[in-house]
Amino acid sequence: QVQLQESGPGLVKPSETLSLTCTVSDGSIRNYYWSWIRQPPGKGLEWIGHIYYTGSTNYNPSLKSRVTMSIDTSKNQFSLKLTSVTAADTALYYCVRENKPYGVDVWGQGTTVTVSS
Amino acid sequence: SYELSQPPSVSVSPGQTATITCSGDKLGNKYVCWYQQRPGQSPLLVIYQDAKRPSGIPERFSGSNSGNTATLTINGTQAMDEADYYCQAWDTSTVFGGGTKLTVL
């Protein structure tokens, strides 16, 4: 069964860039969409965007100006960069496999990112 | 941008039927998925393509989608079903509903 593991700093200063990486294990990164979803404390799920294994991307319009996703198929990894962060970006960040049209069928355990000076 | 609306909370007695709705413009023309999130856990896909259950999901979970409303139904609700439930659909981007807290009491 495919497993996902997020990695990256748990604390980011305001105005700086949040960077996370997700490692895909026990499965191929090819032929799927790979996404980032976040969940602020006590709130609901927010889709940040996805990247296809070919490198094609689609981002949440509300975050598009600050988001960049990339993928490294040789390392079975994909990454998220979110610029100019504020306290509103504090959340649990999940990397997931978005198996369109069958749903988000694999979730990482999530990593907490706090934006604070 | 496309929006999905869910009731913030639903309550049900053990053994009864729980119904959670998800509303969106012409939602019936899109595939809807449902996710269960228990406290402290990652979400779990319980329904995809409106009404299909992934392997391992109990038969008491079912879904439907028509018009502007998709519905998640849990028959014979158990205490273990108490969780947050999110609907999700695809438009020009991937969209989640705001979530519904299901209380079994």
**What is the pLDDT of chain B when averaged over all its residues?**
98
Predicted confidence at residue B52, as pLDDT, reads: 98
Distance from CA of A18 to the nearest CA of B (A): 21
Predicted confidence at residue A55, as pLDDT, reads: 96
Which stretches within chain A are classed as H helix?
none
Show Cβ contacts of residue B33 under 8 Å, excluding neighbours closer than 6 positions: A103, A104, B45, B47, B48, B49, B87, B88, B89
Distance CA B33, CA A45 (A): 13
Report residue B29: phi and psi, to 5°: -90, 0
Distance from CA of B18 to the nearest CA of A (A): 20
Distance CA B20, CA B16 (A): 13
Residue-wise burial string across B36-62, b where 16 or more C-beta atoms lie within 10 A, e elsewhere? bbeeeebbbbbbbebbebeeebeeebb
Q: Collapse the DSSP code of B64 into the 3-class scheme (helix H, G, I; strand E, B; otherwise coil) and give the result.
A: strand
* Average pLDDT of the residues in B94-98: 98
Would you state the structure tokens that stand for residue A81, as one six-digit string? 């960069």
Percent of chain B past pLDDT 70, that is, above it, reads 100
Predicted confidence at residue B83, as pLDDT, reads: 98
Q: Collapse the DSSP code of B29 into the 3-class scheme (helix H, G, I; strand E, B; otherwise coil) and give the result.
A: helix
Contact B43 A104 (CB under 8 A): yes
Choose from A2, A6, A22, A39 for mutation: most chain B CBs within 10 A. Answer: A39
| Structure confidence by residue, pLDDT tens digits, B50-63 | 999 999 999 999 99
pLDDT class of B39 with cuts at 50, 70, 90: very high
Distance from CA of A2 to the nearest CA of B (A): 14
B49 part of contact set with chain A, CB < 8 Å = yes
Q: What is the pLDDT tens value at each position of chain A, 117 positions in all?
A: 999 999 999 999 999 999 999 999 999 999 999 999 999 999 999 999 999 999 999 999 999 999 999 999 999 999 999 999 999 999 999 999 999 999 999 999 999 999 999
Percent of chain B past pLDDT 90, that is, above it, reads 100
Cα dist. A28→A23, A44, A54, A83, B45 in Å? Answer: 11, 29, 13, 29, 20
Predicted confidence at residue B70, as pLDDT, reads: 98
